[in-house]
Amino acid sequence: MSAGVSRVSRIVVIGSINMDLVIRCETIARPGETISGRSLEEIPGGKGANQAVAAARLGAAVTLVGRVGDDAFGQLLRDGLEREGIDLRFVWTTAGTSSGVAVIQVDDRGQNSIVVIPGANAALTPADVWAAESAIAEADAVLLQFEIPQETVAAAVLLARRHSVRVIVDPAPAREDVDATVLSADWLLPNETEAERLTGLPVQTADEACAAAVSLRQRGCLRSVITRGEHGVIMADADGELWCVEPYRVVTVDTTAAGDAFAAGLAIGLSQGKSDADAVRYACAAGATAAARPGAQPAMPSMRDVELLMREQPESGRLSRLPVAPR
C-alpha cells in the first residue's frame, strides 16, 4: 500500500432488512387519537441494512448477513442493497414469509415513532451467522442490532470474539432481557431510552447518562457510548474514564436512522486507526448528517458529507473529560 492511502475497511453487518412505510405528519399520534398524515413513502430500511449502506457510503467493503421474504419487498430490498455495492452472499430469501416492515411516523420536528414487524428477520439463526464465518474472520468490525433474535446476536458476538474481531452492538429496539454475552461487546451504543431499559436507571440528565454508562461497563462491555441527540454523547472508555462529546449542530429533519449512521461511522473510524475519541467524533458527525435528511437509507451520508460537516464545524465534536463519575 502506498504512503498516504488508507486501507479499505472491511465491515460485516449482521441484522435486519426492512421496508419502511414512512408516514409524515404534523404530530405523532397519541394512543386513541386519529390524525391526518401528509404522505406515505416506501423507503428501504432496517437497522442492519441501514448500517450496511452507511458503512458502504463511508468507503468500506461491506458484507451483510440477513434475511428477506419471498415477497415483492424482498426483491426491492435486494436491488437497493446491490446498487450500494454491498456483498449479499449471506442474505437469504425465506420462503413463505414476508419481509420485515417498519411503520414510521415522522413529525414536523423530525422526531419519530416506529413499529417494527420482523417478518423474515425473525428467521435469522445462529447457523446463518456461522455460515458467514469466513467473512467475519476477515472483518475489521462486526456491527449488530436487536431487530434479529437475541440468540443470533449472541452467536455473532462469540464468533467474532473467536476471531479477535471488534464487536459493536447497537441495542435497539430497546429491551430488558439481553443475553450477558451480548453485553460483553467491545462497544455498546444505546440512546437514552435504550440505556434506561438496559440499566433500569433514569437517563435524562448528563449525570444520569454518566451513571448509566458506568453501569453498562460494569455489566460487561468494554466501552459504552450513550447517544443523547442534540446534547451530544457520553462515553465510558476502556479505562473507566468518562467523557462528554459535544454535538454537531444541524437542522433536524428525521432522526430515524441517525443511530445507524453513528454506528457505521464509529466502525469506520476505528477500522481506519482513529483513537476512540476521534472515532466517536467521526460517528457524531455521521449521525448528525443523517438526522438532517429524510428517510433511512436515503439519509445515509458519504465520506465527503461527513468530512465537510467536520470542516464546517471545527468547534463541534469537542471532547471533555468528566473528572468524577457520579455515584
The catalytic residue positions are 260
Q: What angle do CA 310, 313, 318 make, to 5 degrees?
A: 85
291's grid cell: 438526522
Measured CA to CA, the distance from residue 145 to residue 158 in angstroms comes to: 15
The phi, psi pair for 64, rounded to 5°, reads -110, 135
Nearest to 89 by CA among 121, 123, 61, 66: 66
Helix (H, G, I), strand (E, B) or coil at 177: coil
| 47: Cβ contacts below 8 Å, ≥ 6 apart | 15, 16, 145, 146, 147, 170, 172, 259, 260
